[in-house]
Amino acid sequence: MKTVSSGLWFPDADIFLPGEMGTHTREAIREDVPPHHSESVVRRTPPQPTEEERRLGTPELIFKPENRVRVNDTRVYPYSAVCGLLVINRNQNAYYGTGFLAAPRLVITAGHNVYYHGDGFMEKIYVYPGLNGDRRNPVFPAAETRLFYSVEAWVLDQNRDFDLGAIILPTPLGDYAGWFSVSRFTTQTLDSLTVTVSGYPHTPPVESSPGTTQWHDVSRIDVESNRLRHWADTSIGQSGSPVFAYFPDKPNKYHVVGVHNWGYDAENVATRINEAVFAQIAAWRKMSEQIR
């Protein structure tokens, strides 16, 4: 077994950055995952798009019938490591998004949560791991930060395949809430997966404060070189949600394989953690360990 970029090579050439459960989370409960089996998870029918949506894409899609399930106990890992984001731009407008802990002081999210074309980089972002309905009384310690990054393919080229961002935290929230394994898997491995997409919708299925309750759904995926197409229900605010799979036989059981960010006329889309994205996240993880 060869160590590469803090990850481990397996015989199928998969590689991952290790994750941890954290010190203040509850043990993972598999029944908390939506009650679907891979054999029954199929493509679903999206709403009819407008012409503009056909041309430009949409933030996220809900397919009918709505299948999202609320995560009632966000102290349970890995949902504890999914973060609600309150994003403030330079005009002091507030937006909501999702990210996930990928190291004690690193949150990965969609690029448009940290840099929005026309607005530039955001002013500041509040990060709430395992948020569950009340920002004034969070489940885990929260943080405010003004240190975030994206990639040239998003900032300069507006390439949605690489709509990716990183948030560096001033304190190690992951020590409390845990963090995900981040994994570059082969197409052969990904083709067999059913994934969970979990995040914080601005307008959840059941009325609550915007962006404060966590909801998840499951889906099969179609694999492309830079993207993962999926049919899990998502809506505005869930950009940056982890697309993760469960591997009971691996040392780190919950592996993020993509970062959800857009919808199109027939599917939702995540940035695939391929070789380039994996290397970038590994670099951000190293940076998060060095910056104080």
Domain boundaries, the chain: 3-18+35-290
Q: Interior CA angle at 116 toward 100 and 273, to 5°?
A: 40
Residues whose CB falls within 8 Å of the CB of residue 271, separated by 6 or more in sequence, listed in order: 161, 162, 163, 164, 226, 227, 228, 258, 259, 261, 277
pLDDT by residue (tens digit) across 183-208? 999 999 999 899 999 999 998 887 66
Per-chain mean pLDDT for the chain: 85
User: For residues 70 and 204, is the Cβ–Cβ distance under 8 A?
Assistant: yes
pLDDT class of 7 with cuts at 50, 70, 90: low
User: For residues 135 and 191, is the Cβ–Cβ distance under 8 A?
Assistant: no
- pLDDT value of residue 261: 94
User: For residues 102 and 108, is the Cβ–Cβ distance under 8 A?
Assistant: yes
Q: 22 to each of 17, 67, 173, 178, 273, how far by Cα in Å?
A: 15, 29, 9, 4, 23
User: For residues 176 and 22, is the Cβ–Cβ distance under 8 A?
Assistant: yes
Question: Percent of the chain at pLDDT above 70?
Answer: 82
User: For residues 261 and 160, is the Cβ–Cβ distance under 8 A?
Assistant: yes
Residue 1 has pLDDT above 90, yes or no: no
Q: What number is the average pLDDT over the span 117-141? A: 95
pLDDT by residue (tens digit) across 56-98? 344 455 665 677 899 999 999 999 999 999 999 999 999 999 9
CB atoms within 10 A of CB 96: 22
Q: How far apart are CA 173 and CA 53, in angstroms?
A: 37
Q: How far apart are CA 225 and CA 26, in angstroms?
A: 36
Give bridge partners of residue 3 from the DSSP assignment. 8
Give bridge partners of residue 238 from the DSSP assignment. none
**Amino acid identity, residue 27?**
E
pLDDT by residue (tens digit) across 43-56? 444 445 455 444 33
Q: How far apart are CA 242 and CA 8, in angstroms?
A: 21
pLDDT by residue (tens digit) across 264-275? 767 899 999 999
Q: Which of 94, 168, 85, 88 lies closest to 131, judged by CA?
A: 85
pLDDT by residue (tens digit) across 17-38? 999 999 999 987 654 444 333 4
Q: How far apart are CA 85 and CA 131, in angstroms?
A: 9
pLDDT by residue (tens digit) across 147-168? 999 999 999 999 999 999 999 9
Which CATH number applies to 3-18+35-290? 2.40.10.10
Higher pLDDT residue, 140 or 7? Answer: 140
Decide: residue 57, CB within 10 A, 0-12 exposed, 13-18 middle, 19+ buried: middle
Based on DSSP, count helices (H) and strands (E) in the chain, helices before strands. Answer: 5, 20
Q: Exposure string (b/e) for 156-184, b if CB count within 10 Å is 16 or more?
A: eeebbbbbbbbbbbeebbbbbbbbbbbbb
Instruction: Give one DSSP letter per residue of 140-175, joined into a string.
Output: S--EEE--EEE-HHHHTT--GGG--EEEE-SS-THH
User: For residues 271 and 106, is the Cβ–Cβ distance under 8 A?
Assistant: no
- pLDDT value of residue 204: 83
- pLDDT value of residue 37: 39
User: For residues 228 and 257, is the Cβ–Cβ distance under 8 A?
Assistant: yes
Answering whether pTM is above 0.85, one says yes
Residue 144 has pLDDT above 60, yes or no: yes
